[in-house]
Structure 1
Amino acid sequence: MSFSTANDDDAISDINITPLVDVMLVLLVTFIVTAPLLNNSIPLDLPQTVATTSLDQASPTVVSVDASGGVFIDSQAVAMEQLPDALQALHEQDPDIAVSLRADQATRYGRVAQVLADVQKAGISRLSVITESP
């Protein structure tokens, strides 16, 4: 019969991971809560860019929006109501059409967003925004 003595070195060889899981859960919840707040704190100056890249197509169709909100397709004035039909016709002529959007810095953002929505509704997927380098 064997009796255990106080000198036995039966150390626990398992690591208790419950505290580790608790800490990781707290960190995960913290990141999930704070991540949406970071998007609202980013200051943006949209019309300026540092570097630009050119399209691989030689002559993309240019849609321009002037300061008063007037819309032009390749220097031809187009009424805002006729823009979706004009873009759809261009897309039907060339399904791989590339459109470059030029908007005056003083243009209301709502007008630019409306033009972007019309480009998307026409099914045009190749869109670039033209800006000036500072």
Structure 2
Amino acid sequence: MAMNVGSPSASGDPEVMIDINTTPLIDVMLVLLIMLIVTIPIQLHSVELNLPQGNPPPPLVEPEVVRIHIEADGAILWNGEPVAGLPALEPRLASAAAQAVQPELHVRPDRAAAYHTVAAVMAAIQRNQLTKIGLVGSEQFL
């Protein structure tokens, strides 16, 4: 119990209390929080996938693979055969792009090859609109 010790007002009436009673507000907020927690569905940490059953059929025709090696000194090899720079590589890429079924290009740059040489070869491949490209031998860069 508490007692208000102070000067009484002139009229003798007790002073009006200005503080807000926050207990009902907190009770309502807690009830709303509990209702929200109860109504939210449980989140599942799995993704449902419908995967095909069985083995896929083997490809009818094995794809042709063209291996392009870029050596440390900037030399370019087309299936192990030296190519005299980018101007000589362009016609080979154009003929590969003109085929009915484009061959797969496996580009293998040497670890010490200059970046601009590798970028120039990749740009030449893109200019000739070849789409089946793979960079192989990336384990040497780890």
TM-score, normalised with respect to structure 2: 0.51
State whether residues 84 and 121 of structure 1, in contact with CA within 8 Å, keep that contact through their aligned partners in structure 2.
Answer: no
Shift of 1:102: 0.6
What TM-score comes out, normalization by structure 1 length?
0.54
- The Cα of 1:132 is off from its aligned counterpart by 4.8
Does the 8 A contact of 2:70 with 2:110 survive in 1?
A: yes
Task: Kindly report structure 1 stretches of 4+ aligned residues shifted beyond 3 Å.
Answer: 56-59
Deviation at 1:97, TM superposition (A): 1.7
Match of residue 62, structure 1, among 63, 67, 88: 67
Q: 1:53 maps to what in 2? A: none
Counterpart Cα distance in 2 of 1:70 and 1:102:
12
Q: Which has the higher contact order (CA 8 A, sep 6+)?
A: 1
Structure 1 runs not aligned, ≥5 long = 1-55
The CA distance in 1 between the partners of 2:72 and 2:121, in whole Å, is 14
Confirm whether residue 71 of structure 1 aligns to residue 94 of structure 2: no
Q: Which moved more, 1:104-113 or 1:58-67?
A: 58-67
RMSD: 3.1
In 2, Cα distance between the equivalents of 1:98 and 1:66?
Answer: 20
Q: Could you give the per-residue CA deviations for residues 66-124 of structure 1, whole angstroms, max 9, x where no partner exists?
A: 01000011011111211111111122134422101011000001000000001111110
What fraction of aligned residue pairs are identical, expressed as a percent? 20
Residues 1:94 and 1:67: Cα distance change in structure 2 (over 3 Å): farther
Q: Which residue of 2 aligns with 1:98?
A: 104
Whole-angstrom distance in 2 between the partners of 1:64 and 1:94: 24
In structure 2, how many angstroms separate the alpha carbons of the residues matched to 1:65 and 1:84? 15
SS in 2 for 1:101: strand
Cα distance in 1 for partners of 2:89, 2:63 equals 23
User: Residues 95 and 124 of structure 1 are in contact (CA less than 8 Å); yes or no, is this contact kept in structure 2?
Assistant: no
